[in-house]
Chain A
Protein backbone atom coordinates (compact mmCIF):
# COMPACT_ATOMS: atom_id res chain seq x y z
CA UNK A 1 0.00 0.00 0.00
CA UNK A 2 1.34 3.36 -0.99
CA UNK A 3 -0.25 6.53 0.37
CA UNK A 4 0.72 9.73 -1.36
CA UNK A 5 0.30 11.70 1.83
CA UNK A 6 2.66 14.47 0.83
CA UNK A 7 0.19 15.61 -1.83
CA UNK A 8 -2.89 15.03 0.33
CA UNK A 9 -5.25 17.99 0.78
CA UNK A 10 -7.59 17.84 3.79
CA UNK A 11 -11.23 17.14 2.87
CA UNK A 12 -12.81 16.59 6.27
CA UNK A 13 -11.54 19.92 7.57
CA UNK A 14 -10.33 21.68 4.40
CA UNK A 15 -8.07 24.71 4.69
CA UNK A 16 -10.77 27.28 3.90
CA UNK A 17 -10.88 30.54 5.83
CA UNK A 18 -14.01 31.00 7.98
CA UNK A 19 -15.44 27.63 6.95
CA UNK A 20 -17.24 27.52 10.32
CA UNK A 21 -19.57 30.23 9.03
CA UNK A 22 -22.62 28.78 7.34
CA UNK A 23 -22.42 31.09 4.28
CA UNK A 24 -18.82 30.09 3.62
CA UNK A 25 -19.68 26.43 4.15
CA UNK A 26 -22.55 26.70 1.64
CA UNK A 27 -20.36 28.49 -0.89
CA UNK A 28 -17.93 25.60 -0.73
CA UNK A 29 -20.49 22.93 -1.45
CA UNK A 30 -21.92 22.70 2.05
CA UNK A 31 -25.38 21.18 2.59
CA UNK A 32 -25.23 19.87 -0.99
CA UNK A 33 -25.31 16.31 0.32
CA UNK A 34 -28.41 17.05 2.39
CA UNK A 35 -30.12 18.60 -0.65
CA UNK A 36 -29.13 15.58 -2.73
CA UNK A 37 -30.69 13.24 -0.18
CA UNK A 38 -33.89 15.19 0.49
CA UNK A 39 -34.91 16.83 -2.78
CA UNK A 40 -34.88 16.85 -6.55
CA UNK A 41 -34.26 13.96 -8.90
CA UNK A 42 -31.42 12.65 -6.78
CA UNK A 43 -33.70 12.17 -3.74
CA UNK A 44 -32.76 9.05 -1.81
CA UNK A 45 -34.90 6.82 0.38
CA UNK A 46 -33.73 6.31 3.97
CA UNK A 47 -32.74 2.73 3.05
CA UNK A 48 -30.64 3.96 0.12
CA UNK A 49 -28.76 6.32 2.45
CA UNK A 50 -28.15 3.55 5.00
CA UNK A 51 -26.89 1.22 2.26
CA UNK A 52 -24.58 3.82 0.73
CA UNK A 53 -23.03 4.64 4.11
CA UNK A 54 -22.79 0.97 5.02
CA UNK A 55 -21.04 0.27 1.73
CA UNK A 56 -18.58 3.12 2.38
CA UNK A 57 -17.48 1.33 5.57
CA UNK A 58 -16.92 4.46 7.67
CA UNK A 59 -15.51 2.76 10.73
CA UNK A 60 -16.45 4.57 13.94
CA UNK A 61 -13.84 7.20 14.77
CA UNK A 62 -14.65 7.20 18.49
CA UNK A 63 -12.59 4.13 19.18
CA UNK A 64 -14.57 0.97 18.46
CA UNK A 65 -14.12 1.14 14.68
CA UNK A 66 -17.53 -0.33 13.90
CA UNK A 67 -19.08 0.24 10.43
CA UNK A 68 -21.38 3.25 10.97
CA UNK A 69 -23.90 2.32 8.27
CA UNK A 70 -24.16 -1.20 9.63
CA UNK A 71 -24.90 0.29 13.05
CA UNK A 72 -27.64 2.43 11.47
CA UNK A 73 -29.19 -0.68 9.91
CA UNK A 74 -29.78 -2.13 13.39
CA UNK A 75 -32.50 0.43 14.07
CA UNK A 76 -35.93 -1.25 14.05
CA UNK A 77 -38.67 -0.11 11.69
CA UNK A 78 -40.42 3.09 12.82
CA UNK A 79 -43.50 2.48 14.98
CA UNK A 80 -44.61 6.09 15.18
CA UNK A 81 -42.91 6.71 18.54
CA UNK A 82 -39.82 8.85 19.16
CA UNK A 83 -36.34 7.78 18.03
CA UNK A 84 -33.04 9.43 18.89
CA UNK A 85 -29.57 10.12 17.57
CA UNK A 86 -26.98 10.89 20.24
CA UNK A 87 -23.74 12.36 18.89
CA UNK A 88 -20.75 11.56 21.02
CA UNK A 89 -18.46 14.54 21.52
CA UNK A 90 -17.37 13.54 25.00
CA UNK A 91 -13.76 13.20 23.76
CA UNK A 92 -12.19 12.37 27.12
CA UNK A 93 -9.71 9.60 26.32
CA UNK A 94 -6.22 10.85 27.15
CA UNK A 95 -4.36 11.62 23.93
CA UNK A 96 -7.54 12.56 22.06
CA UNK A 97 -8.23 16.14 20.95
CA UNK A 98 -9.67 15.92 17.44
CA UNK A 99 -13.45 16.43 17.57
CA UNK A 100 -12.84 19.92 18.94
CA UNK A 101 -11.26 20.77 15.58
CA UNK A 102 -14.56 19.91 13.87
CA UNK A 103 -16.51 22.02 16.38
CA UNK A 104 -14.20 24.95 15.76
CA UNK A 105 -13.33 24.74 12.08
CA UNK A 106 -16.03 22.74 10.29
CA UNK A 107 -19.10 22.33 12.54
CA UNK A 108 -21.54 22.26 9.66
CA UNK A 109 -19.98 19.16 8.11
CA UNK A 110 -20.90 17.36 11.31
CA UNK A 111 -24.36 18.95 11.53
CA UNK A 112 -25.06 18.04 7.90
CA UNK A 113 -23.88 14.48 8.50
CA UNK A 114 -26.05 14.19 11.62
CA UNK A 115 -29.16 15.43 9.77
CA UNK A 116 -28.55 12.90 6.99
CA UNK A 117 -28.10 10.18 9.63
CA UNK A 118 -31.37 11.22 11.28
CA UNK A 119 -33.14 11.05 7.93
CA UNK A 120 -31.66 7.63 7.16
CA UNK A 121 -32.86 6.26 10.51
CA UNK A 122 -36.08 8.34 10.58
CA UNK A 123 -35.13 10.09 13.78
CA UNK A 124 -36.78 13.30 15.00
CA UNK A 125 -34.38 14.42 17.72
CA UNK A 126 -30.59 14.74 17.79
CA UNK A 127 -28.60 15.40 20.96
CA UNK A 128 -24.99 16.47 20.72
CA UNK A 129 -23.24 15.41 23.93
CA UNK A 130 -20.09 17.46 24.46
CA UNK A 131 -17.76 17.27 27.44
CA UNK A 132 -18.29 20.09 29.94
CA UNK A 133 -14.70 21.28 29.70
CA UNK A 134 -15.30 22.24 26.06
CA UNK A 135 -17.42 25.25 26.99
CA UNK A 136 -16.05 27.38 24.15
CA UNK A 137 -16.63 24.63 21.62
CA UNK A 138 -20.19 24.11 22.89
CA UNK A 139 -20.84 27.82 22.35
CA UNK A 140 -19.50 27.48 18.80
CA UNK A 141 -21.78 24.51 18.18
CA UNK A 142 -24.79 26.41 19.54
CA UNK A 143 -24.10 29.21 17.06
CA UNK A 144 -23.71 26.75 14.18
CA UNK A 145 -26.93 24.89 15.12
CA UNK A 146 -28.85 28.15 15.40
CA UNK A 147 -27.58 29.21 11.94
CA UNK A 148 -28.63 25.86 10.48
CA UNK A 149 -32.14 26.41 11.91
CA UNK A 150 -32.27 29.89 10.38
CA UNK A 151 -31.38 28.48 6.97
CA UNK A 152 -34.03 25.78 7.24
CA UNK A 153 -31.65 22.81 7.46
CA UNK A 154 -32.98 21.98 10.91
CA UNK A 155 -36.51 22.20 12.27
CA UNK A 156 -39.78 21.46 10.54
CA UNK A 157 -40.19 20.33 6.93
CA UNK A 158 -36.52 20.62 5.96
CA UNK A 159 -36.07 21.77 2.34
CA UNK A 160 -39.82 21.13 1.88
CA UNK A 161 -39.18 17.40 2.07
CA UNK A 162 -41.65 16.75 4.85
CA UNK A 163 -38.76 15.55 7.03
CA UNK A 164 -38.31 17.34 10.38
CA UNK A 165 -35.60 17.05 12.98
CA UNK A 166 -34.42 19.05 16.01
CA UNK A 167 -30.88 19.29 17.37
CA UNK A 168 -29.71 20.27 20.86
CA UNK A 169 -26.34 20.35 22.61
CA UNK A 170 -26.03 18.70 26.02
CA UNK A 171 -23.10 19.71 28.19
CA UNK A 172 -21.30 17.04 30.19
CA UNK A 173 -19.69 17.85 33.53
CA UNK A 174 -16.43 15.94 33.77
CA UNK A 175 -16.78 12.17 33.53
CA UNK A 176 -14.73 10.07 31.08
CA UNK A 177 -17.19 7.21 31.38
CA UNK A 178 -19.87 9.30 29.66
CA UNK A 179 -18.06 8.64 26.38
CA UNK A 180 -19.24 5.03 26.75
CA UNK A 181 -22.48 4.96 24.80
CA UNK A 182 -24.84 3.58 27.42
CA UNK A 183 -23.36 5.81 30.11
CA UNK A 184 -23.79 8.75 27.75
CA UNK A 185 -27.49 7.90 27.49
CA UNK A 186 -27.91 7.81 31.27
CA UNK A 187 -26.12 11.14 31.50
CA UNK A 188 -28.43 12.60 28.84
CA UNK A 189 -31.39 11.32 30.84
CA UNK A 190 -30.17 13.39 33.79
CA UNK A 191 -28.73 10.52 35.81
CA UNK A 192 -25.37 9.43 37.12
CA UNK A 193 -23.33 8.23 34.16
CA UNK A 194 -23.48 4.50 34.87
CA UNK A 195 -23.07 2.19 31.87
CA UNK A 196 -26.02 -0.10 31.17
CA UNK A 197 -25.97 -3.85 30.71
CA UNK A 198 -26.15 -4.90 27.03
CA UNK A 199 -28.37 -6.37 25.63
CA UNK A 200 -30.71 -4.64 25.14
CA UNK A 201 -28.63 -2.60 22.70
CA UNK A 202 -29.38 1.12 22.18
CA UNK A 203 -31.08 0.44 18.83
CA UNK A 204 -33.68 -1.64 20.68
CA UNK A 205 -33.86 0.24 23.96
CA UNK A 206 -31.91 3.47 24.16
CA UNK A 207 -32.78 6.94 25.37
CA UNK A 208 -36.02 6.85 27.37
CA UNK A 209 -36.42 3.24 26.31
CA UNK A 210 -36.68 4.18 22.64
CA UNK A 211 -34.55 3.18 19.60
CA UNK A 212 -31.34 5.20 19.67
CA UNK A 213 -28.08 5.32 17.73
CA UNK A 214 -24.88 6.80 19.10
CA UNK A 215 -22.20 7.98 16.66
CA UNK A 216 -18.95 9.84 17.15
CA UNK A 217 -18.68 13.44 15.86
CA UNK A 218 -15.91 12.72 13.35
CA UNK A 219 -17.77 9.65 12.08
CA UNK A 220 -20.81 11.78 11.24
CA UNK A 221 -18.66 14.51 9.66
CA UNK A 222 -17.59 11.91 7.08
CA UNK A 223 -21.18 11.26 5.96
CA UNK A 224 -21.56 14.28 3.58
CA UNK A 225 -18.32 13.22 1.86
CA UNK A 226 -19.78 9.77 1.22
CA UNK A 227 -23.11 11.12 -0.05
CA UNK A 228 -21.47 13.69 -2.34
CA UNK A 229 -18.80 11.44 -3.79
CA UNK A 230 -20.14 7.93 -3.36
CA UNK A 231 -19.07 4.93 -1.32
CA UNK A 232 -16.68 3.74 -4.02
CA UNK A 233 -14.71 6.99 -3.95
CA UNK A 234 -14.58 6.94 -0.16
CA UNK A 235 -13.28 3.37 -0.11
CA UNK A 236 -10.46 4.45 -2.40
CA UNK A 237 -8.98 6.63 0.34
CA UNK A 238 -6.43 5.07 2.69
CA UNK A 239 -6.50 1.52 4.03
CA UNK A 240 -8.75 -0.91 2.19
CA UNK A 241 -10.46 -2.38 5.25
CA UNK A 242 -10.54 0.88 7.20
CA UNK A 243 -10.98 3.61 4.60
CA UNK A 244 -11.36 7.38 4.60
CA UNK A 245 -9.70 10.47 5.95
CA UNK A 246 -8.90 10.50 9.65
CA UNK A 247 -7.89 13.14 12.19
CA UNK A 248 -4.63 12.10 13.82
CA UNK A 249 -4.01 13.87 17.11
CA UNK A 250 -0.28 13.72 17.76
CA UNK A 251 1.02 14.62 21.22
CA UNK A 252 3.91 13.94 23.56
CA UNK A 253 7.54 14.10 22.49
CA UNK A 254 7.36 15.40 18.93
CA UNK A 255 8.55 18.66 17.42
CA UNK A 256 5.23 19.60 15.83
CA UNK A 257 2.33 18.22 17.87
CA UNK A 258 -1.22 18.88 16.72
CA UNK A 259 -4.18 17.47 14.83
CA UNK A 260 -3.46 16.40 11.26
CA UNK A 261 -5.82 15.08 8.61
CA UNK A 262 -4.50 12.28 6.42
CA UNK A 263 -5.85 9.04 4.99
CA UNK A 264 -6.03 5.99 7.24
CA UNK A 265 -3.24 3.49 6.83
CA UNK A 266 -0.42 6.00 7.28
CA UNK A 267 2.87 4.54 8.48
CA UNK A 268 3.26 5.38 12.16
CA UNK A 269 6.91 6.23 11.49
CA UNK A 270 5.90 8.74 8.78
CA UNK A 271 3.45 10.40 11.15
CA UNK A 272 6.02 10.69 13.92
CA UNK A 273 9.15 11.51 11.94
CA UNK A 274 7.85 13.40 8.91
CA UNK A 275 4.46 14.85 9.75
CA UNK A 276 5.15 15.72 13.39
CA UNK A 277 8.83 16.49 12.81
CA UNK A 278 10.40 13.73 14.91
CA UNK A 279 11.44 13.67 18.54
CA UNK A 280 12.99 16.82 20.06
CA UNK A 281 16.74 16.62 20.59
CA UNK A 282 16.98 13.63 18.24
CA UNK A 283 16.10 11.29 21.11
CA UNK A 284 14.90 7.77 20.49
CA UNK A 285 11.23 6.82 20.59
CA UNK A 286 10.73 4.52 23.53
CA UNK A 287 6.99 3.91 23.27
CA UNK A 288 3.99 4.97 21.23
CA UNK A 289 0.40 4.88 22.36
CA UNK A 290 -1.36 4.76 18.97
CA UNK A 291 -5.00 5.55 19.71
CA UNK A 292 -5.68 6.97 23.15
CA UNK A 293 -4.78 5.72 26.62
CA UNK A 294 -6.69 2.44 26.41
CA UNK A 295 -4.76 1.18 23.38
CA UNK A 296 -1.72 -0.94 24.32
CA UNK A 297 1.60 0.92 24.03
CA UNK A 298 3.95 -0.21 21.27
CA UNK A 299 7.72 -0.36 21.62
CA UNK A 300 9.61 2.33 19.77
CA UNK A 301 11.86 -0.32 18.20
CA UNK A 302 8.91 -2.27 16.78
CA UNK A 303 7.27 0.44 14.69
CA UNK A 304 8.65 -0.48 11.27
CA UNK A 305 5.83 -1.08 8.82
CA UNK A 306 3.06 -0.45 11.37
CA UNK A 307 0.18 1.42 9.76
CA UNK A 308 -2.66 3.37 11.34
CA UNK A 309 -5.56 1.10 10.50
CA UNK A 310 -7.40 -1.58 12.47
CA UNK A 311 -5.77 -4.58 10.79
CA UNK A 312 -2.18 -3.38 10.87
CA UNK A 313 -2.44 -2.22 14.48
CA UNK A 314 -4.06 -5.47 15.58
CA UNK A 315 -1.20 -7.36 14.01
CA UNK A 316 1.25 -5.12 15.85
CA UNK A 317 -0.58 -5.80 19.12
CA UNK A 318 -2.59 -2.66 19.61
CA UNK A 319 -5.65 -0.83 18.31
CA UNK A 320 -6.64 2.20 16.25
CA UNK A 321 -8.81 3.68 19.02
CA UNK A 322 -9.29 7.40 18.46
CA UNK A 323 -6.05 7.81 16.45
CA UNK A 324 -4.73 9.98 19.29
CA UNK A 325 -1.02 9.18 19.09
CA UNK A 326 1.18 9.86 22.12
CA UNK A 327 4.92 9.61 21.48
CA UNK A 328 7.14 8.82 24.46
CA UNK A 329 10.90 9.35 24.30
CA UNK A 330 13.69 7.31 25.89
CA UNK A 331 13.95 9.52 28.97
CA UNK A 332 10.57 8.37 30.30
CA UNK A 333 10.33 5.50 32.75
CA UNK A 334 7.43 3.25 31.79
CA UNK A 335 6.61 2.62 35.45
CA UNK A 336 5.80 6.33 35.89
CA UNK A 337 3.95 6.45 32.59
CA UNK A 338 1.85 3.36 33.30
CA UNK A 339 1.13 4.52 36.85
CA UNK A 340 -0.37 7.75 35.53
CA UNK A 341 -2.59 5.85 33.08
CA UNK A 342 -3.80 3.65 35.94
CA UNK A 343 -4.46 6.74 38.03
CA UNK A 344 -6.69 8.03 35.27
CA UNK A 345 -8.80 4.87 35.13
CA UNK A 346 -9.00 4.68 38.91
CA UNK A 347 -10.37 8.22 38.99
CA UNK A 348 -12.79 7.59 36.13
CA UNK A 349 -14.17 4.17 37.11
CA UNK A 350 -17.88 4.72 37.81
CA UNK A 351 -17.81 2.25 40.69
CA UNK A 352 -20.64 -0.02 39.58
CA UNK A 353 -18.61 -3.20 39.10
CA UNK A 354 -16.29 -4.46 41.82
CA UNK A 355 -13.51 -5.78 39.51
CA UNK A 356 -13.18 -2.29 38.00
CA UNK A 357 -13.80 -0.16 41.09
CA UNK A 358 -11.29 -2.13 43.16
CA UNK A 359 -9.05 -3.36 40.35
CA UNK A 360 -8.23 0.11 39.02
CA UNK A 361 -7.29 1.16 42.56
CA UNK A 362 -5.12 -1.89 43.06
CA UNK A 363 -3.33 -1.25 39.76
CA UNK A 364 -2.62 2.35 40.67
CA UNK A 365 -1.48 1.54 44.21
CA UNK A 366 0.72 -1.35 43.15
CA UNK A 367 2.35 0.73 40.43
CA UNK A 368 2.84 3.57 42.90
CA UNK A 369 4.53 1.17 45.28
CA UNK A 370 6.96 0.12 42.52
CA UNK A 371 7.46 3.74 41.58
CA UNK A 372 8.42 4.68 45.11
CA UNK A 373 11.03 1.91 45.15
CA UNK A 374 9.09 -0.32 47.55
CA UNK A 375 8.02 -2.85 44.92
CA UNK A 376 9.10 -6.46 44.84
CA UNK A 377 9.34 -8.80 41.84
CA UNK A 378 6.15 -10.53 42.93
CA UNK A 379 4.29 -7.25 42.49
CA UNK A 380 4.75 -7.68 38.74
CA UNK A 381 2.89 -10.98 38.98
CA UNK A 382 0.30 -9.31 41.16
CA UNK A 383 -0.29 -6.70 38.45
CA UNK A 384 -0.85 -9.44 35.85
CA UNK A 385 -3.24 -11.19 38.21
CA UNK A 386 -5.25 -8.01 38.81
CA UNK A 387 -5.51 -7.46 35.04
CA UNK A 388 -6.79 -11.01 34.53
CA UNK A 389 -9.41 -10.51 37.21
CA UNK A 390 -10.63 -7.30 35.57
CA UNK A 391 -10.69 -8.14 31.87
CA UNK A 392 -14.09 -9.12 30.52
CA UNK A 393 -15.72 -9.20 33.93
CA UNK A 394 -17.57 -5.90 33.99
CA UNK A 395 -20.61 -4.17 32.48
CA UNK A 396 -18.59 -1.92 30.18
CA UNK A 397 -15.11 -1.92 28.69
CA UNK A 398 -13.52 0.57 31.11
CA UNK A 399 -11.97 -2.27 33.13
CA UNK A 400 -10.43 -3.72 29.96
CA UNK A 401 -9.24 -0.27 28.92
CA UNK A 402 -7.57 0.06 32.33
CA UNK A 403 -6.01 -3.40 32.30
CA UNK A 404 -4.61 -3.52 28.77
CA UNK A 405 -2.08 -0.67 29.03
CA UNK A 406 -0.72 -2.27 32.22
CA UNK A 407 -0.59 -5.80 30.82
CA UNK A 408 1.13 -4.72 27.62
CA UNK A 409 3.49 -2.30 29.33
CA UNK A 410 4.60 -5.21 31.54
CA UNK A 411 4.97 -7.49 28.50
CA UNK A 412 6.83 -4.98 26.37
CA UNK A 413 8.80 -2.89 28.86
CA UNK A 414 9.41 -5.44 31.59
CA UNK A 415 12.99 -4.25 32.08
CA UNK A 416 11.74 -0.90 33.38
CA UNK A 417 9.55 -2.59 35.98
CA UNK A 418 12.18 -5.10 37.09
CA UNK A 419 14.74 -2.33 37.47
CA UNK A 420 12.50 -0.65 40.05
CA UNK A 421 11.61 -3.82 41.99
CA UNK A 422 13.50 -5.49 44.80
CA UNK A 423 14.17 -9.19 44.42
CA UNK A 424 11.58 -11.31 46.16
CA UNK A 425 13.32 -13.72 48.51
CA UNK A 426 11.43 -16.48 50.26
CA UNK A 427 12.97 -18.34 53.15
CA UNK A 428 12.74 -22.07 52.62
CA UNK A 429 11.51 -23.92 55.63
Chain B
Protein backbone atom coordinates (compact mmCIF):
# COMPACT_ATOMS: atom_id res chain seq x y z
CA UNK B 1 0.00 0.00 0.00
CA UNK B 2 1.41 3.34 -0.94
CA UNK B 3 0.97 6.28 1.36
CA UNK B 4 -1.65 8.93 0.67
CA UNK B 5 -0.28 12.36 -0.11
CA UNK B 6 -2.27 15.58 -0.14
CA UNK B 7 -1.64 19.31 -0.47
CA UNK B 8 -3.23 21.51 2.20
CA UNK B 9 -4.92 24.87 1.72
CA UNK B 10 -1.68 26.85 2.05
CA UNK B 11 0.03 24.64 -0.51
CA UNK B 12 -2.82 25.11 -2.97
CA UNK B 13 -2.63 28.87 -2.48
CA UNK B 14 1.10 28.76 -3.15
CA UNK B 15 0.47 26.63 -6.26
CA UNK B 16 -1.98 29.22 -7.60
CA UNK B 17 0.68 31.90 -7.08
CA UNK B 18 3.22 29.74 -8.95
CA UNK B 19 0.80 29.22 -11.85
CA UNK B 20 0.27 32.99 -12.16
CA UNK B 21 3.94 33.46 -13.13
CA UNK B 22 3.54 31.59 -16.41
CA UNK B 23 1.26 31.90 -19.46
CA UNK B 24 0.16 28.27 -19.13
CA UNK B 25 -0.01 25.55 -16.50
CA UNK B 26 2.74 23.12 -17.63
CA UNK B 27 5.66 25.34 -16.49
CA UNK B 28 4.38 25.04 -12.92
CA UNK B 29 5.50 21.38 -12.89
CA UNK B 30 9.06 22.08 -11.72
CA UNK B 31 8.26 24.54 -8.92
CA UNK B 32 5.36 22.35 -7.73
CA UNK B 33 7.60 19.26 -7.72
CA UNK B 34 10.00 21.27 -5.56
CA UNK B 35 7.17 22.28 -3.25
CA UNK B 36 6.10 18.64 -2.98
CA UNK B 37 9.64 17.44 -2.30
CA UNK B 38 10.14 20.07 0.39
CA UNK B 39 6.92 18.88 2.05
CA UNK B 40 7.20 15.09 1.67
CA UNK B 41 10.98 14.68 1.39
CA UNK B 42 10.78 12.99 -2.02
CA UNK B 43 8.64 12.78 -5.15
CA UNK B 44 8.00 9.06 -5.48
CA UNK B 45 5.31 8.03 -8.02
CA UNK B 46 2.38 8.67 -5.64
CA UNK B 47 3.61 12.23 -5.13
CA UNK B 48 4.08 12.68 -8.87
CA UNK B 49 0.44 11.61 -9.27
CA UNK B 50 -0.62 14.22 -6.72
CA UNK B 51 1.28 16.91 -8.63
CA UNK B 52 -0.24 15.75 -11.93
CA UNK B 53 -3.78 15.65 -10.54
CA UNK B 54 -3.41 19.04 -8.84
CA UNK B 55 -2.20 20.69 -12.05
CA UNK B 56 -4.51 18.72 -14.34
CA UNK B 57 -1.59 17.26 -16.31
CA UNK B 58 -0.93 13.65 -17.39
CA UNK B 59 1.03 11.72 -14.78
CA UNK B 60 3.35 10.56 -17.56
CA UNK B 61 4.40 14.16 -18.17
CA UNK B 62 5.16 14.79 -14.51
CA UNK B 63 7.09 11.52 -14.29
CA UNK B 64 9.03 12.48 -17.41
CA UNK B 65 10.07 15.77 -15.83
CA UNK B 66 10.82 14.30 -12.40
CA UNK B 67 13.00 11.57 -13.89
CA UNK B 68 15.00 14.01 -16.05
CA UNK B 69 16.32 16.13 -13.18
CA UNK B 70 18.68 14.60 -10.65
CA UNK B 71 17.68 16.75 -7.70
CA UNK B 72 14.18 15.31 -7.52
CA UNK B 73 14.27 12.21 -5.33
CA UNK B 74 12.21 9.59 -7.14
CA UNK B 75 12.35 7.37 -4.07
CA UNK B 76 12.78 8.04 -0.41
CA UNK B 77 16.30 8.88 0.71
CA UNK B 78 17.97 9.43 4.06
CA UNK B 79 16.98 12.33 6.27
CA UNK B 80 20.25 13.99 5.25
CA UNK B 81 21.51 13.49 1.72
CA UNK B 82 25.21 14.26 1.46
CA UNK B 83 26.09 15.22 -2.11
CA UNK B 84 29.87 15.10 -2.42
CA UNK B 85 31.15 16.94 -5.49
CA UNK B 86 33.77 14.93 -7.39
CA UNK B 87 33.89 16.98 -10.61
CA UNK B 88 37.35 18.01 -11.77
CA UNK B 89 38.28 20.86 -9.41
CA UNK B 90 37.03 18.84 -6.45
CA UNK B 91 38.59 15.66 -7.87
CA UNK B 92 42.09 17.12 -7.87
CA UNK B 93 41.59 18.83 -4.49
CA UNK B 94 40.58 15.69 -2.60
CA UNK B 95 36.88 15.20 -3.33
CA UNK B 96 37.25 11.43 -3.63
CA UNK B 97 39.16 11.27 -0.34
CA UNK B 98 36.25 13.04 1.31
CA UNK B 99 33.84 10.59 -0.30
CA UNK B 100 35.96 7.62 0.89
CA UNK B 101 36.07 9.04 4.39
CA UNK B 102 32.29 9.42 4.47
CA UNK B 103 31.74 5.92 3.10
CA UNK B 104 34.00 4.43 5.75
CA UNK B 105 32.53 6.52 8.53
CA UNK B 106 28.91 5.74 7.72
CA UNK B 107 29.53 2.19 6.49
CA UNK B 108 27.70 2.71 3.19
CA UNK B 109 28.69 3.32 -0.41
CA UNK B 110 27.78 6.30 -2.58
CA UNK B 111 24.18 5.83 -3.70
CA UNK B 112 23.19 4.04 -0.47
CA UNK B 113 21.34 5.00 2.72
CA UNK B 114 22.26 4.07 6.29
CA UNK B 115 20.00 1.49 7.95
CA UNK B 116 18.61 4.00 10.43
CA UNK B 117 17.51 6.19 7.50
CA UNK B 118 19.62 9.12 8.69
CA UNK B 119 22.16 9.52 5.88
CA UNK B 120 22.43 8.98 2.15
CA UNK B 121 25.67 9.62 0.28
CA UNK B 122 25.89 10.56 -3.39
CA UNK B 123 28.83 11.39 -5.63
CA UNK B 124 27.60 14.32 -7.69
CA UNK B 125 28.61 16.57 -10.56
CA UNK B 126 29.89 20.14 -10.21
CA UNK B 127 27.96 22.20 -7.66
CA UNK B 128 29.50 25.55 -8.60
CA UNK B 129 31.85 25.94 -5.64
CA UNK B 130 35.06 25.06 -7.48
CA UNK B 131 37.27 27.53 -5.63
CA UNK B 132 36.18 26.08 -2.29
CA UNK B 133 36.96 22.45 -3.07
CA UNK B 134 36.47 19.87 -1.77
CA UNK B 135 32.87 20.47 -0.79
CA UNK B 136 29.49 18.87 -0.32
CA UNK B 137 25.86 19.90 -0.21
CA UNK B 138 23.38 18.77 2.44
CA UNK B 139 19.98 17.67 1.07
CA UNK B 140 19.80 20.13 -1.84
CA UNK B 141 20.40 22.97 0.58
CA UNK B 142 23.49 24.24 2.41
CA UNK B 143 27.01 23.99 1.01
CA UNK B 144 29.88 22.95 3.27
CA UNK B 145 33.12 24.21 1.73
CA UNK B 146 36.87 23.57 1.99
CA UNK B 147 36.31 20.18 3.58
CA UNK B 148 38.77 18.26 5.69
CA UNK B 149 38.08 14.89 7.33
CA UNK B 150 37.76 16.70 10.68
CA UNK B 151 35.21 19.07 9.20
CA UNK B 152 33.24 16.11 7.85
CA UNK B 153 33.29 14.42 11.28
CA UNK B 154 31.92 17.49 13.03
CA UNK B 155 29.29 17.96 10.31
CA UNK B 156 28.04 14.40 10.88
CA UNK B 157 27.91 14.94 14.65
CA UNK B 158 25.96 18.16 14.19
CA UNK B 159 23.53 16.60 11.74
CA UNK B 160 22.90 13.71 14.13
CA UNK B 161 21.77 16.33 16.62
CA UNK B 162 19.56 17.88 13.96
CA UNK B 163 21.81 20.89 13.50
CA UNK B 164 22.02 21.98 9.84
CA UNK B 165 25.07 23.96 8.73
CA UNK B 166 24.52 27.65 8.03
CA UNK B 167 25.00 29.48 4.77
CA UNK B 168 28.63 30.42 4.36
CA UNK B 169 29.33 33.70 2.62
CA UNK B 170 32.67 33.59 0.81
CA UNK B 171 33.79 37.08 -0.23
CA UNK B 172 35.86 37.80 -3.30
CA UNK B 173 39.54 37.97 -2.24
CA UNK B 174 39.83 41.48 -3.75
CA UNK B 175 37.09 42.68 -1.39
CA UNK B 176 38.87 41.27 1.62
CA UNK B 177 42.09 43.13 0.92
CA UNK B 178 40.26 46.43 0.42
CA UNK B 179 38.08 46.40 3.51
Contact = CB atoms under 8 A, between A and B. Distances in A.
A191 B89 contact: no
A344 interface: yes
Contact of B31 (A92, A171, A175, A261): A171
Interface in A144-197: 168, 170-176, 187-193
B130 interface: yes
Given A100-B128, A253-B93, 16 more contacts: A15-B178, A15-B179, A92-B126, A95-B89, A96-B126, A101-B172, A136-B167, A188-B27, A189-B27, A191-B26, A260-B174, A326-B89, A340-B91, A344-B87, A348-B125, A350-B68
Contact of A173 (B71, B131, B174): B71
Interface residues of B, number: 51
B130 A94 contact: yes
Given A175-B70, A251-B131, A328-B92, A260 B173 contact: yes
A340 B131 contact: no
B38 to A, nearest CB: 10
A95 B30 contact: no
Interface of A: 10, 13, 15, 17, 82, 91-97, 100-101, 104-105, 131-136, 168, 170-176, 187-193, 208, 249-253, 256-261, 289, 293, 324, 326, 328-329, 332, 336-337, 340-341, 344, 347-348, 350
Contact of B24 (A132, A208, A251, A256): A208
A15 B175 contact: yes
A258 B131 contact: yes
A171 B34 contact: yes
Q: Which of B31, B87, B179 has the most CB of A within 10 A?
A: B87
B88 A173 contact: no
Nearest to A341: B88
Interface of B: 21-24, 26-31, 33-34, 61, 64-65, 68-72, 86-89, 91-93, 125-133, 137, 140-143, 167, 169-175, 178-179
B144 to A, nearest CB: 13
Nearest to A326: B89
Contacts of A259: 131, 172
A10 to B, nearest CB: 6
A324 B87 CA distance: 13
11 contacts: A13-B172, A95-B126, A134-B128, A174-B69, A188-B27, A251-B89, A253-B93, A259-B131, A260-B173, A261-B172, A340-B91
B88 A326 contact: yes
A132 B173 contact: no
A94 B68 contact: no
Contacts of B92: 252-253, 326, 328-329, 332, 337
B133 A251 contact: yes
Question: 6 tightest A-B contacts by CB?
Answer: A173-B69, A251-B130, A174-B71, A257-B131, A174-B70, A190-B26
B172 A105 contact: yes
